[in-house]
Amino acid sequence: MELVALTLTVLVHFVGLGALVYVLLQGENLDWRSWWPRDDDGPEPPAPVGPPPLPDAEPGRARLREPGRLADAYPPPSRRPAHAPVPARERTPERA
């Protein structure tokens, strides 16, 4: 029984090797697309209809297709005040 299993395994590998060599040598003449049905044979489906845009929708502030830096399209962040803040209370050292 083991001899039959080994012979069958070797035979299957030789058949696969033969098919691989055949495809490598005759691959240009084979039409792989005819093996499976095509999806694009029928009419094109209609475009999906989405919800209309919201009434407050606006175009973006930055045009990303134009040359230039993206950071130039946005205002710089606000700066700190020029004066130093006044401390809230005086600190006193603790007694030891």
pLDDT per residue as tens, the chain (96 positions): 899 999 999 999 999 999 999 888 887 777 777 777 766 666 777 777 888 878 888 877 666 677 777 777 777 888 777 777 777 777 777 776
**What are the boundaries of each domain within the chain?**
1-27
pLDDT at 39: 67
Q: Which amino acid is at 96?
A: A
pTM for the full model?
Answer: 0.33
| Alpha carbon distance 15, 30 (integer Å) | 19
| Alpha carbon distance 94, 87 (integer Å) | 19
Q: Which amino acid is at 43?
A: P
Closest CA to 30 of 19, 38, 16: 19
Closest CA to 63 of 73, 53, 75, 76: 73
